[in-house]
Amino acid sequence: MDSDAVDDPVLFFNYHEFSETFYADLGAPGAPREHPETEALVITHFPNVHAPRGSQLYRTTRVVRVPRRFDISMHYPNFSEQLPGLEPAAIVAEDKGDSNDDSRSMMSFADALAAGQHADGAGKARLPRFIPRGVHDGQVFGCTSASPLSNMLTPEQFQQIVHEVNVHLEREFRALSWRNWAGILLSVLTFGLWPWVAKHLRGAAPGQSGLDACIERCNASPLFMQQHLVLLHPRDSAYLSLDFQIASPT
């Protein structure tokens, strides 16, 4: 076995995304055809499984899935704070100096930065944008890991939102917190009735109510409302992803 391969670090990527080579070009949406792997679409948004199938909401919205970071913690949910398309192993466009040219590159975002691509004159990363390149299953997709969220939120805004979610989740799920010990004691003293009682007492589960308030605050903000962006509660996806509901891209 090559020792260099063993020493190579494992780069994080959004494991929800996948590529598709059989799709229709934007100019001929009704004529799908096979494309080379270097021109594959990257599927970065998905059907809104949180809406009733066939409903108006289902037809007009999609979800962008933010992956969990199991390498950070296995004890409580923790989601990636990197805007989709900025992960170290994200698929990026070959830098040709044209912001509208996203010809497929097999380089990761980390490798592209190391090679001097996707950086401005000051050495800062140039942010990838979601640029539709083809139609698959009636939806438009680009050829990179950049999702439609890249056109709605800055990396700083995204990081701030997800970080706050992560803080609340850690507080709620940490097994050895004083809150859990108190809950266990109260459950014993009330013969198992405490979890039911706690659900009806405001402030009895501050971690959970804090997360609910965080999500409500985001969804009520002008930034979200103006772009028809909705942050969905992670329990709706069994805490396997943090889903952002978006209007179907065109």
DSSP for 58-94 reads: HHHEEEEEEEB-TTT-SSS--B--SPTT-STT-EEE-
Q: Compute the average pLDDT of residues 236-249.
A: 96
The pLDDT score that the predictor gives to residue 202 is 53
The pLDDT score that the predictor gives to residue 172 is 82
In this predicted model, which residue has the larger pLDDT, 14 or 182? 14
Q: How does the average pLDDT of the chain come out, rounded?
A: 84
Helical (H) or strand (E) element with 244 = strand 241-247
117 has pLDDT over 50: no
118 has pLDDT over 50: no
Task: Compute the distance between CA of residue 183 and CA of residue 171 in angstroms, rounded to an integer.
Answer: 14
Q: Compute the average pLDDT of residues 158-180.
A: 87
The pLDDT score that the predictor gives to residue 10 is 80
Token output for 250: 């065109």
The pLDDT score that the predictor gives to residue 73 is 86
Contact yes or no for 21/33 (Cβ under 8 A): no
* Spacing of C-alpha 181 from chain mean position: 33
User: Tokens 């700083």 identify what position?
Assistant: 156
In this predicted model, which residue has the larger pLDDT, 94 or 231? 231
How many domains does the chain contain in total? Answer: 1
Residue pLDDT, tens place only, 124-139: 456 779 999 999 999 9
Q: Compute the average pLDDT of residues 15-35.
A: 94
* Spacing of C-alpha 244 from chain mean position: 7
193 has pLDDT over 90: no
123 has pLDDT over 50: no
Residue pLDDT, tens place only, 45-88: 999 999 999 999 999 999 999 999 998 888 899 999 999 999 99
Residue 84 belongs to domain spanning: 3-247
In this predicted model, which residue has the larger pLDDT, 92 or 25? 25
